[in-house]
Structure 1
Amino acid sequence: MPRKWVTMNIWIFNHYAKAPGSSGGSRHYDLAKYLKKNGHNVTIFAASFHHQQKEEMLDEKESYRVEDYDGVQFVWIKTLSYYNNGLKRAMNMVNYFTNSLKVYKLIDETPNIVIGSLVHPLAAYLGYHVAKNKNCLFYFEERDLWPQTLIDLGKFSKKNPAVMILDKLELFLYKRAQRIIVLFDKAPDYVKSRGIKENKILYLPNGIDLERFANTMDNAPQDIEDLYAEIENKFIVVYVGSHGIPNHLDPIVDTAKLLLNNENVHFVFIGTGSEKERLQNRSQQEGINNITFTSPISKDYIPYVLEKSSLGIISMKDSPLYKWGFSMNKLYDYMAAGLPVILHYNGPFNVIEQSRGINKVINSDEAATTIEHISEGNYDYPIMSQGSRDYVEKYHSWERLAEYLEKVMFEDLKVK
């Protein structure tokens, strides 16, 4: 049967998946949107408790809810609420696993392929269990290299009992998956080092929905509109994302401090996280008044914000974690908006060799100098802007990534 007449039913188990309009990553919704456009049905099983916003979306008596978002079906699984990374969060993970085991049986559909996404191991194993019971193909999506990440960060040794259990689970899922999806460019090398054949590995990085940037909203939340109206004549350096320890935002604050005498440059931090209050207090105590901190916004408004900004900025801690590469949504958002990017990072990064829009700096002095030069026109801004946009169109468009995944799935299902 010709491929264009074949409809696949694809189920994705991702504890932390987000619907459109939410803050946070939207990897699976964006992927599903384009698979749906190609004629396929996608159902995403996600927790009802929003990890970033710490909000519960189901009523007290609901055990699950099915909702449709422009043809993409979400099954919201009732889970325990939590407000930090303690015991209740662990219980929330177990909740998702045990409750999903009951709910998936109530969905009147037979999947062709089930994807179990490892944000935590139970969700990935859940995908395997469902695929086995539904007698369909299983894809293991390893978004973080567990337990290797814990070892690389120096948190655990290879002989730690928890690491040894995770190690066995990882290999178990590798061997039973039809495909192993990885997000980092060098992650295939890690998977191969575990004795897995290369033809099982599928590199599918994070992407960007370019349609969202082609249809920029005319307005945004009032506080954002007021802020940008106030600083519209300045060179605006924007950071959009989490404000946590891994985001390493102090070097950006240091950069802003070095530019205090340049009244033309202003920094905007959009988001929330465990470090936000400390960063705000630090800025206030040190008189760093060229930074404005604002609340997180819906992903729908990010193109509006970036269109009114001049430069995107990211800071990354030097860590062995990144030896396998990385795939950051905020970077692709910046580039899709045609923003040049300052990347504060002292490690290798292949994208720099492929894009003319990224400036890698190794310290805050270099970052401040580069920002000043760009703001004064000493760099060819149009070329940098076009370099950013060209790169994401070629390598990170969700439309293209969905077509690639569809092609692989057809091959695995032996659809000609």
Structure 2
Amino acid sequence: MKKIWIFNHYAIAPGASGGTRHYDLGKELCRKGNQVRIFAASFNHQAKQESIRYFSSQYVQKEIHNGVQYVWIKTIPYQKNDWRRICNILSYTFRAFMECRRTEEKPDIVIGSLMHPLAALLGYVVAKKKKCAFYFEERDLWPETLVHLGKFSRKNPIVWMLSQLEMFLYRKAERIIVLFDKAVDYVSNRGIDRGKVLYLPNGVDLSRYNYPHQEVPSELEELLNRLQNRLVAVYIGAHGVANNLDSILEAASLLQQDDEWKDKLMFLFIGDGTEKNRLIKKANEARLSNVIFGPAIPKEWVPIVLERTHIALVSMLKADIYKWGFSLNKLYDYLAASLPVVIQCHLETTLIDQAGIGIKVSTSKEMAEAIRWLARSDNERAKMGEKAREYVEKHHSWNELSNRLIDSWMSKERERECLK
């Protein structure tokens, strides 16, 4: 049995909207006899509101969900990316560290997850203080992501500082966890031994797709009822700049002009983000009657929505950062729901076209054509959907991925034994 502490500022518990990577991983690790503790801020990043009720002098609350212990840290609230968000990050880092100092318990492994650099650095500091193994999980390739998405120049001092911090964490980590299939090359290109790197992508809890499901709120049921007798192309996830959702709206516009499909095909957007209001306004101005926007929903409700859809959509910005691969939570939910995927990107190849579980396109016009082709063929959709489910069961179930993590620390222990 191992005691694993995970530092992820933005980790969420069941019932909230957003990525559930560490909860799903932790649940599987607990099921296999380990203990998992997640240190997370209780201020919800998506909803921009506090999710835990504290008494006046409290800064920490604890909960257990399916064996996974959450240590909720009270942080300074914020509503946008300004100085208050910086204060939120600093308050999480300081208060989580102080909570670790107060406990005499010692973990076997600390995972510092780079949702922001201080959480990963905090993981290293705690691991050193507790004299245990440190695993550095690089969720995004900082600072490369900031540069390639156009947020910072490579000459910016912040980029230099983040690059130095990245190298520091690489050197200090016993294992470096990456989510992208080619990110092992990225790390090794920086002079780090490939043997330290563990490819552990996002995955899916397949038990959520054991129908039937629980009831959903009336407003969501009402939205889903509007889709009856229609063929539905769905996007579930963040509505941000990097998600390139304008391209999906353009595909919807093209298909609305097609007499064959204007009354048969609907586009459903589920989620929230900085671009959502602008996208709704754009759809209204273009009078897109084949587009529906729904709210962000808890992970537990995603299968209910996907069960009533037929084609899944992904659209990615043209950015060099994707040459190292990608690991989208939404993608594995699509595959678990046996949906064929239409993905717009500028990569030469993706797992979608390699595995025969969808169609890769480069433009919104091509996306519209791919959707039209899939809409006409129930047989092709069914075949791709069957392959999609087989693929995700083999490569991206949390049962399989948790075994991969367990094998990595077992192999490290064998290495230490050989050195004695």
Output the TM-score relative to the length of structure 2.
Answer: 0.94
2:37·2:69 contact (CA, 8 Å) conserved in 1? yes
Select between 35-44 and 208-217 the one with higher mean Cα deviation.
208-217
| CA distance, structure 1, for counterparts of residue 240 and residue 148 of structure 2 | 19
Letter in 2 for 1:223: E
Q: Which residue of 2 aligns with 1:297?
A: 297
Alpha-carbon separation, structure 1, partners of 2:214 and 2:239: 27
- Structure 1 residue corresponding to 2:49, chosen from 55, 68, 77: 55
Q: Quick one: which amino acid aligns to residue 291 of structure 1? A: V
2:95 equivalent in structure 1 = 99
2:85 corresponds to which of 86, 89, 102: 89
**DSSP-derived class of the 1:85 partner:** coil
CA contact (8 A) 1:354 1:391 kept: no
The CA deviation at 1:379 is 5.7
**Structure 2 residue aligned with 1:4:** none
Instruction: Determine if contact 1:216/1:303 at 8 Å carries over to the other structure.
Output: no
1:123 match: 119
TM-score of the superposed pair, with normalisation by structure 1: 0.95
1:136 aligns with 2:132: yes
Matched, 1:39 2:33: yes
What is the aligned partner in structure 1 of residue 75 from structure 2? 79
Which residue pairs with 2:230 in the alignment?
234
Task: Look up the SS of the partner of 2:377 in the other structure.
Answer: coil
Match of 1:13 among 4, 7, 21: 7
Contact 1:373 1:379 in 2 (8 A): no
For 1:315 and 1:159, locate their aligned partners in 2 and report how far apart those are by CA, in whole Å. 29
The one of 247, 251, 255 aligned to 2:247: 251
Deviations 1:53-112 (A, max 9, x none): 111123252201011001100001111100111111111111111111101123452100
What code does the residue aligned with 2:25 have?
Answer: L
SS class of match (1:380): helix
Label 1:156 to 1:27 Cα distance change in 2 as closer, same or farther (>3 A). same
Q: What pairs up with 1:347-358 in 2 under 5 angstroms?
A: 347-358=347-358
How many equivalent pairs are there? 410
Deviation >6 Å, runs of 4+: none
Equivalent residue, structure 1, for 2:207: 211
Residue 219 of structure 1 contacts residue 304 of structure 1 at CA under 8 Å; is this kept in 2?
no
One-letter amino acid of the structure 2 residue matched with residue 315 of structure 1: S
Which whole-Å CA distance do the structure 1 matches of 2:174 and 2:163 have between them?
Answer: 19
Give yes or no for the alignment of 1:26 onto 2:33: no
Gaps of 5+ in 1: 1-6
Task: Kindly indicate whether the alpha-carbon contact (under 8 Å) linking 2:6 and 2:110 is maintained by their aligned counterparts in 1.
Answer: yes
- For 1:110, what is the secondary structure of its paired residue? coil
Q: Which runs of 5 or more structure 2 residues have no equivalent in the other structure? A: none
| Other-structure match for 1:225 | 221
Change in 2 beyond 3 A, CA 1:108/1:305: farther
Match of 1:408 in 2: 408
Aligned residue number for residue 376 of structure 1: 376
- Superposition RMSD in Å: 1.6
Q: Work out the CA distance in 1 between the residues paired with 2:309 and 2:398.
A: 24
Cα deviation, residue 160, structure 1: 2.6
Aligned counterparts of 1:98 and 1:63: Cα–Cα separation in 2: 11
Do 1:256 and 1:288's aligned partners in 2 also have CA atoms closer than 8 Å?
yes
